Structure 1
Amino acid sequence: MSPAPVQVPDDEALVGLLAAWLPGRRWFPVKGSVAELGAAGGLTLVDPRGEAAVRILFVRAVAPGIDTVLQVPVTLRAAGADEDAGGPAVIGTTGAPAVLVRDGCGDPAFLRAWLAVADGPGGDVDPDHPRVLTGEQSNTSVVLPAAPDPDGGPPHPAAILKVFRALSPGDNPDVDVPRALAADGWTHVPRPLGWLEGRWPDRGATAEGHLAVLSQFVDGAEDGFELACAMAGRGESFAPLARDLGMVVAGMHAALADALPVEPPAATVDRASSVAQAVRDRYRWAATAVPALEQYAHAVEELAARTQHLTDLPLPQRIHGDLHLGQALRAHGEWFVTDFEGEPLAPVAARTRPDLALRDVAGMLRSFDYAAAVGTAGSAVGADDARSWADDARAALLEGYRDEVLRASAERHDAPPVDVASRSALLRALELDKALYEAVYEARNRPTWLDIPLRGVERLLD
């Protein structure tokens, strides 16, 4: 027997209830100040079992430097004994008669309702036993186990639902890119199984974009950064895995170029000068925030000048855009690449803009410095051995990437790729750009980690 229907409060009342709950969420983008919150519409979904009312709220959050629309799914039931029961987090009660409001992301009622309206091929999953992943800073992900096969056949794959918290108009790359890669036959990306779009008011207009995506769950996977840290702490070489990873990243770039082709830039665009100027601009910004960088002004200018005179640079293409070890999963002897969303608060157009594929490689190279430092902290591995560990991993990644590019080029009878010397100089500039960004981030957020990017800057300018 289904529970009696509840009187759903209006969105403004629900947003008022959320005001005390949102600042405690890791994904809430406003830190250190009070946000002005307002209702921006939403979607009403229907739980097929009728156990709860389901509402996806769109909440506009405004604070200094931030003006964004957040997605907050909630479930609503009559207040009573259920309030003290286990299950999804209770946000609070509101209305008369009182209505219990829960976080929808871990609530089977919301998950059943979402699956009932999502587009895509679908997956045979069990929404009644979800597991909400903790620690995410931008979104909320929920693992849904495979539904049992009534005929006793082999188990279906589990799935993971990623609910995008900060909404952006347009097609979210964490939906479209994996769909395109999977359709192109690239097997190192979890296959999307379902997705949902929505509309919300946006500065006098109506915006439309993706709200969430359901993807194949990579069972038994190890996070690439955690794996690398553990191996560094044991003094165990990561080079064989890094070489495999380099080959996978090269394959990803080839698949992206094939699945999501872009128009070549105008002949008048000087790509080398653009990279060089970006390094100069990044350095000026970083040195203002991190005084320890001021000593490198001359060395940065010399590197930028050398970069400016590079020729035969590769053409821009679609890339991952935020690639590092934490975006790679190791399972069943293979690497899988995840999280193509990019910076959630950046416009979709900025996150999907064509760029140099080697920028992804540079991001992965920077990851090895972090894994070496974090993994060996407090271990018996000395500083010199940690540096050697990272150097070996970087060399192996580049070897795997180069070998896969050459293999694919020969298979297609293409012209040889950009020469090694040009690639090395370009990579150094891109890696320096990333390290300068990291220095500002660490100075502002994790001062005890600031030495990691500073040592990287010193190495790259040596």
Structure 2
Amino acid sequence: MAVIHHTTLKPTKLELLTDWLPSRPWYRGGPDAPVLTRSGGFRLDDPAGEVGMEFMVVTDTSTPEPSAYMVPLSYRGAPLDGAEHALVGTMEHGVLGRRWVYDGCHDPVLVTELLSLIEGTAEAHSQSVDGALDPEVVRSYTGTPLALDGFTPEPADDPEGTRLTVPLGTVLHVHRVLNPLPENPPLRPEGAIGHVARGWQDPQGATPAAVFVTLRTA
């Protein structure tokens, strides 16, 4: 089980994301730097205990209409081979030392555990409480078991988010910009064979829910 260290980070995660987000094709902000606040999310556990994994929701309030972004991040104690293009930045952790922070869609450990969460063979953990599961995360899956051994993600970003082709001819869509679900939403998005959803806190203090990822047949 991953241990959550409440310690100093230099630079902070929000500082790293302030520089990184405007470089993404799905970023909705203007020419000014984003003004970010943490708005929620959850963690996944690495069975090997080596990689930290967080699905962070941040809200940009620099524009008249705030935008909430879902950013999967992986934290490593050494560089991930071949993933220089996916590096968000490095930071100094008060306990663990230098950490390499990656866009998690490029990290095979994070993507594998995310697919396991969708299947129901992994559990979502609290973002800030050691050892606690996150009961607010909703997931579904109606497909056959996914063969995940040796899977290497090859994500592609576009204005609608990030897409990855995954085993058994399915496509994982990571919804980067969060759109609130209606009241009493369906069990899963139309046409999807799997999904993950959760709530977050908006600038007015409300807690809308949104679909974070969907899995569909190619």
The structure in which a higher percent of residues are strand is 2
Alignment RMSD: 2.7
Q: How far apart, CA to CA, are the structure 2 residues paired with 1:206 and 1:6? A: 24
Q: Following TM superposition, by how much is the alpha carbon of 1:103 offset from its aligned partner in structure 2, in angstroms?
A: 0.4
> Is the contact made by 2:189 and 2:195 (CA closer than 8 Å) also made in structure 1?
no
Q: How far apart, CA to CA, are the structure 1 residues paired with 2:107 and 2:6? A: 17
Q: How far apart, CA to CA, are the structure 2 residues paired with 1:8 and 1:106? A: 26
Instruction: Choose 1 or 2 for highest CA Rg.
Output: 1
Aligned residue pair count: 185
User: Are residues 1:120 and 2:141 paired?
Assistant: yes
1:134-213 correspondence to structure 2 within 5 Å:
134=157, 136-144=158-166, 146=167, 157-170=168-181, 176-178=189-191, 192-202=192-202, 203-213=204-214
Measured against aligned partners, the alpha-carbon deviations of 1:21-63 in whole angstroms (never above 9, x if no partner) come to: 1110011111322221111121111133434110001010122
Q: Following TM superposition, by how much is the alpha carbon of 1:7 offset from its aligned partner in structure 2, in angstroms?
A: 5.0
Q: Secondary structure at the match of 2:66?
A: strand
Work out which structure has the larger RCO, using CA pairs closer than 8 Å and 6 or more positions apart in sequence: 2
Amino acid at match of 2:180: P
Distance 1:6 1:90, change over 3 A: farther
Q: Which runs of 5+ in 2 are unaligned?
A: 119-139
Distance 1:107 1:10, change over 3 A: farther
Identify the residue that residue 74 of structure 1 maps to in structure 2.
73
TM-score by structure 2 length?
0.75
> Is the contact made by 2:154 and 2:164 (CA closer than 8 Å) also made in structure 1?
yes
Q: Secondary structure at the match of 2:37?
A: strand
Amino acid at match of 2:156: L
Q: How far apart, CA to CA, are the structure 2 residues paired with 1:8 and 1:216? A: 40
Identify the residue that residue 133 of structure 2 maps to in structure 1.
none
The list of structure 1 runs, each at least 4 consecutive aligned residues, that deviate by more than 3 angstroms after superposition, is 4-12, 48-51
Amino acid at match of 1:132: P
Q: Following TM superposition, by how much is the alpha carbon of 1:9 offset from its aligned partner in structure 2, in angstroms?
A: 6.5
> Is the contact made by 1:193 and 1:215 (CA closer than 8 Å) also made in structure 2?
yes
Q: Secondary structure at the match of 2:38?
A: strand
Q: How far apart, CA to CA, are the structure 2 residues paired with 1:199 and 1:168? A: 11
Identify the residue that residue 103 of structure 1 maps to in structure 2.
103
1:196-345 correspondence to structure 2 within 5 Å:
196-202=196-202, 203-217=204-218
Q: How far apart, CA to CA, are the structure 2 residues paired with 1:8 and 1:53? A: 14
> Is the contact made by 1:17 and 1:91 (CA closer than 8 Å) also made in structure 2?
yes
Identify the residue that residue 53 of structure 2 maps to in structure 1.
54
Identify the residue that residue 130 of structure 2 maps to in structure 1.
none
Identify the residue that residue 25 of structure 1 maps to in structure 2.
24
> Is the contact made by 1:6 and 1:76 (CA closer than 8 Å) also made in structure 2?
no
